[in-house]
Chains A and B, each alone.
Chain A
């Protein structure tokens, strides 16, 4: 295999702020907490960071969706950078990582701080911040096609896709429920998770319908929090204190129509070609994966990824997760081992990267997967957005 740029990079440090349903400190403070923790965890100092990236970049719209961007962190930490980049038109949330890989390959930087900050819990206390719509304002851009139809939240768009998936696959609510039940069981063992009280099938079935077939427990939890990771060039990574978590392969493709309405296959979203690309860039395959941190903005995404990564066949997720044993911490494929966004907070796929490294470095405490996991598949999702990474600790 020819030299692929991601194979010359590794995650060398991770940081996670307090994560809550209402922070006592600012979004920038949380971001600095996570950033400093990640830099120290890598055994680096501020002066060693020469690149910074985030997704989707600062959005000063009061929604809390992305209140902190590269410029704010660069200035707060007075970083001296060879490269920086934040922006949303990318292969899902991991676009920031993929851009960093390119910047390292281009020789622009060696240690890139990548972060994702959320302040949605606080934002929603003062406004309907989830609103995709603004009363009295006309809507521009692709969302203008949805705006006139009372499409108040991304949940409605995802419910359209999820309902088609349910229709085609025949999955039952008691089968879907295994995803949130498993994650809450894992969250009970994660001191930083937001919701730690186990839930039952009856709890799931009793949770309010948002938009059929989505129930409340199918949706992730808006939070205040920040995650940071350091991605380093491999020669640097090998000199640092943590065993490098190598970025073995990535999937960044856009082979379908990039549209929330005309997307080629609504029930699989943009994931199949992204997964195919990731597997084409490694000799490893689904059977080599020890743990999976799969996007869980909604349970539907996690079901989708189980199939699209090839852990089971198309529409086989319902049988794969039946009873929950296979995806549990003790199972063949532990999934979302820290509770995921459903229970530990919507850190938008970067919580998943943090948990991946936590497990690969054996720091999981009570929730540590026992058989020394080395290979983790992780992913992002949402309609036409998707990105995937395979992480390996040697």
Chain B
């Protein structure tokens, strides 16, 4: 009997470290330009909006909306629990920042386009993986 698969973690570098570790403090870190306020994701130390170079991680609210999603039914590897939801989530602060995530804490059949969601973090090894669940207090 194979064990359920674990999450495959990213290689951490100087640009993405905040995204995968600030969850320890309950914060979702997204790079932002100090000059014009534009959020740059994936994190790059350059602002394409104003050519600024003062771009670094800053906590966002952690609230977003489901841009699109899929309910996976295929058991790709032994032990994988299906169905589960893979989604792209856009931040309420800036919708062109889209995050990949699983949508948890609800039945896969309940996920909808535009659904309001909020971040939570699952600790895996030395990292904190951002995940989203239906937002509390959402309509």
- Interface residues, chain A, CB within 8 Å of chain B? 128, 130-131, 133-135, 137-140, 142, 144-153, 155-156, 159-164, 167, 208-214, 259, 261-262, 266
Contact = CB atoms under 8 A, between A and B. Distances in A.
Which of the four size classes fits the interface of chain B? 35 or more
B9 A131 contact: no
A144 B16 contact: yes
Nearest to B101: A149
12 contacts: A128-B77, A131-B76, A139-B8, A139-B10, A147-B9, A149-B101, A152-B80, A156-B86, A162-B70, A208-B73, A211-B72, A262-B98
B85 to A, nearest CB: 9
Interface of B: 5-11, 16, 41-42, 67-74, 76-77, 80, 84, 86-88, 96-102, 113, 124, 129
Contact of B7 (A140, A149, A214): A149
Given A131-B76, A139-B8, A266-B68, 14 more contacts: A134-B8, A135-B5, A137-B8, A147-B9, A148-B9, A150-B7, A155-B74, A156-B72, A208-B73, A209-B73, A211-B71, A212-B73, A262-B98, A266-B88
Contacts of B96: 262
Contacts of B99: 145, 261
Nearest to B112: A167
A394 to B, nearest CB: 44
B7 A211 contact: no
A160 to B, nearest CB: 5
Contacts of A160: 68-70, 86-88
B68 A151 contact: no
Closest 8 CB pairs of A and B: A144-B10, A152-B76, A159-B70, A164-B68, A140-B11, A147-B8, A211-B72, A148-B7
A142 B43 CA distance: 11
A151 B86 contact: yes
Q: Which of B42, B68, B80, B97 has the largest count of A CB atoms less than 10 A from its CB?
A: B68
A41 B68 CA distance: 47
A151 B9 contact: no
A148 B123 CA distance: 12
A259 B98 CA distance: 11
Given A167-B113, A211-B86, A266-B68, A148 B10 contact: yes
Contacts of B70: 156, 159-160, 162-163, 211-214
A150 B84 contact: yes
Given A128-B77, A151-B100, A156-B86, A145 B8 contact: no
B102 A149 contact: yes
A259 B96 CA distance: 12
Given A145-B100, A150-B102, A161 B68 contact: yes
Nearest to A257: B96
Contacts of B72: 150, 156, 159, 210-211
Contacts of B16: 144
A139 B9 contact: yes
A153 B98 CA distance: 20
Contacts of A148: 7-10, 124, 129
Contacts of B10: 138-140, 144-145, 147-148
Contacts of A145: 10, 42, 99-100
B86 A261 contact: no
Contacts of B76: 128, 130-131, 150, 152-153
A162 B68 CA distance: 9
Contact of A138 (B11, B42, B67, B74): B11
Contacts of B84: 150
A62 B99 CA distance: 30
Contacts of A210: 72-74
Nearest to A144: B10
B68 A138 contact: no
Nearest to B9: A138
Contacts of A208: 73-74
A134 to B, nearest CB: 7
A128 B68 CA distance: 27
A144 B17 CA distance: 12
Contacts of B100: 145-146, 149, 151, 261
Contacts of B124: 148
A140 B10 CA distance: 6
Q: Which of B42, B72, B87, B96 has the largest count of A CB atoms less than 10 A from its CB?
A: B72
B139 to A, nearest CB: 19
